[in-house]
Chains A and B, each alone.
Chain A
């Protein structure tokens, strides 16, 4: 099974700051990676698919990059509504696997 190591586990940042979350796969996942945002009490929402494609309706301050085993999610100009947990997921192989998540808070 492919292991997804996500870091950091938690993050505190100020409004307007740029934030980066990373995921490392235990083997090459050929950019078959998605990022999700989950706010408390809500279902996860797709942000990024295929490592760098922005999902419909997602603000352009979110971006994804990476290849091979290393991937990152960047949030430019952090807004208050970005306070949430973020998860990566690989769908290159079954079983699909998620990262453990990053909890983003405002400083």
Chain B
């Protein structure tokens, strides 16, 4: 079993829908990252969380440390949100290392 599991692996939705991507992990962590990878391949850091919730524009990330679970929400989704969303954790033992989930491929149709 991978240390970081994401669901769903693929998600297709219509423009305007509310999107939720989930991430579960099995190790103690010091931080969790949400990354976005566009079709061109570049990777952008969206959020880094150690507790609670963060919001940036239409994106919201939450984390529940006790349940070892995080969610990434997108409100009023748009075709430009189409990308692969990757969850990564920095384990307490691993210091600076990031362990990545397999990613969720999101497609938003107009």
Are A and B co-members of a single complex?
no
